[in-house]
Amino acid sequence: MSTAALQHEALPASCARACSGCVVREQGICQALETPHLATLQGASRWRTLTAGEAFCREGDPVDRVASVKSGVLRLSRLLPDGRRHITGFAFPGDFIGLTLETLHGHTAEALGEAMLCLMPRRQFETMRHDFPELDSQLYTRAAQELVAAREQMLSLGRKSAVEKVATFLLEMSERTQQMPLGPCRAFLPMTRTDMADYLGLRLETVSRVFSTLRGAGLITLVTASEVLIHLPEVLRDYADGV
Amino acid sequence: MSTAALQHEALPASCARACSGCVVREQGICQALETPHLATLQGASRWRTLTAGEAFCREGDPVDRVASVKSGVLRLSRLLPDGRRHITGFAFPGDFIGLTLETLHGHTAEALGEAMLCLMPRRQFETMRHDFPELDSQLYTRAAQELVAAREQMLSLGRKSAVEKVATFLLEMSERTQQMPLGPCRAFLPMTRTDMADYLGLRLETVSRVFSTLRGAGLITLVTASEVLIHLPEVLRDYADGV
DNA sequence: CGATCTGTTGAAGTGAGTCAATAGTGGTGG
DNA sequence: CCACCACTATTGACTCACTTCAACAGATCG
């Protein structure tokens, strides 16, 4: 995944529309389709750009389109009646929205910055699943991965301290956004402190305090509020596991 | 699901072994297979009885068999290095173990009481997935459901109070174990207070205190420590959602 | 350059945790 | 049949990690 895709720098116009040249072709669920079938996919899909904060869907909306993230990042959230919010996850380029087969959206999906989606009507999605059974195999694999990630997050939410949660989160974000495997480990944080808090089951002040603690311990440096250098990933890993 | 299956009363010998007469045929993933294919399934699968506390697999074990729960209940848990435990979920009759396609088990699966599993070697499972693509469709559907449940649990772990967590849990257990839709709502709790606590991100003392609170509020009665009558399910629902 | 949003830090409060004592419950064998 | 033991659940008193409330500091932008 490129920094360009993450931060939604304009995609080259030359590859626009063509599924064969799609920037997330390798990561997307559409990778399951043989090249000859891409024409079908291409005919069924449309692009849409979301501005910062704009919602692709809201909790309770009927699911009439599924989507693949081409660039940018979305936050997936749920609300309790009194307004408490929980962020279930973040959708990065290559991630698929609509995996859960619900008829009503279980989550609100909002763009953190500018983002681009590749959309397909749900009806057409179901038709393609029917016509190309290899899609279900791909969707299953993806759902299984999401399930593993969800359970990892449950462990964090249920049994980890604030420091452990934030350390875990930084390593997770570093894995999902890193483009330079060598050199100092870097994490790009496209979300606010409130978003992180709602993802980790903490308050924004607590997240901020933990950042300061980790900074004080020499484990990280905040280049900007949304970019972190991880100096000692192994030690941070120990923090994350409570060692 | 019958009380017999939940509590693992002996299954009738007459239907033993035959997939066509399997007690969880309607719930299991094998429902995707047409009756003529059941012979293949039957040849590949074996039964195994677990005694109370016995493990089907431990975290880190290689996944060399997948399993379908025929009777009894299993707890699926993970450990942090210092011994803190989190229970990710409970597997009831009809549930499938091995959905996540990992090569190493991410969880320990232990029987709460006596339990019976229908086992299949992983290799054979992969062969069947290849030979019968409709299985992947079924597995995908199941994984999608599990994902929805996992995200619901994340909301609970991340943003709900102790009372809300326990109320949510009681309603969930009532749904999964109830056999009498009419009359007073009943929940069977085959796990200990410690198990509930490790599932909800609480301590066993807190779970116990919340039970007393709900009892005091007239919402529930504890018939035994592991059987609850829910007198006012709608009010309990409000408690669960923090209303 | 002021307005607004986001992030940081401090001081005080609280929900759940910890430690500890007691009370049920179920199984075993004398 | 009941006395005993081991295990599980309940309840109380005290503590603490995280929250809440509040003030302030940076960043971003029209």
Angle in degrees, 0-180, between the axes of helices B193-200 and B162-177, rounded to the nearest 10 = 110
- Does residue A201 approach strand D to less than 7 Å at its CB? yes
Question: Do residues B187 and B230 touch, judged by C-beta distance below 8 A?
Answer: yes
Percentage of chain B with pLDDT > 70?
A: 92
Identify which of B148, B153, B200 has the shortest CB distance to residue A100.
B148
Phi, psi of A11 (to 5 degrees): -80, 145
Residue B7 confidence (pLDDT) above 70: yes
Residue A66: closest CA among A118, A137, A135, A7:
A118
**What is the reported pTM?**
0.94
Which residue of B88, B140, B241 is in closest CB contact with A151? B88
- How far apart, in whole angstroms, are the C-alpha atoms of residue A62 and residue A103? 6
pLDDT surpasses 80 at B2: no
A85, A86, A90, A96 alpha-carbon torsion, rounded to 10°: -100
Q: What is the pLDDT of residue B47?
A: 92
Closest CA-bearing residue to C1' of D27:
A225
Q: How far from chain centre, in Å, is Cα B45?
A: 21
pLDDT of residue B212: 97
The per-residue pLDDT for B13 is 43
CA A17 to chain B, closest CA, distance in angstroms equals 29
Judge whether residue B11 has pLDDT over 60: no
Token representation of residue A184: 């100092």
Distances from the Cα of B172 to the Cα of A108, B156, B180, B184, angstroms: 23, 12, 15, 15
- Give buried/exposed letters for B99-110 (b at 16+ CB in 10 A, else e): bbbeeebbbbbb
Give the pLDDT confidence score for residue A18 in this predicted structure: 76
Q: Report which of residues B198 and A8 the model is more confident about.
A: B198
Is the C-beta atom of B209 closer than 7 angstroms to strand D? yes
pLDDT class of A26 with cuts at 50, 70, 90: confident
Cβ contact B211:B202 at 8 Å:
no
Sign of CA dihedral B92, B102, B49, B21: positive
Residue type present at position A40: T
A198/B4: higher pLDDT: A198
Would you state the pLDDT for residue A42?
A: 80
Q: How far is the CA of A96 from the C1' of D29 (A)?
A: 34
* CA dihedral angle for residue A27, residue A29, residue A33, residue A38, rounded to 10 degrees: -80
Is B136's pLDDT higher than 50? Answer: yes
pLDDT greater than 50 at residue B15: no
Per the listing, tokens 């930084």 go with A170
Residue B152 CB lies within 7 Å of the nucleic strand D: no
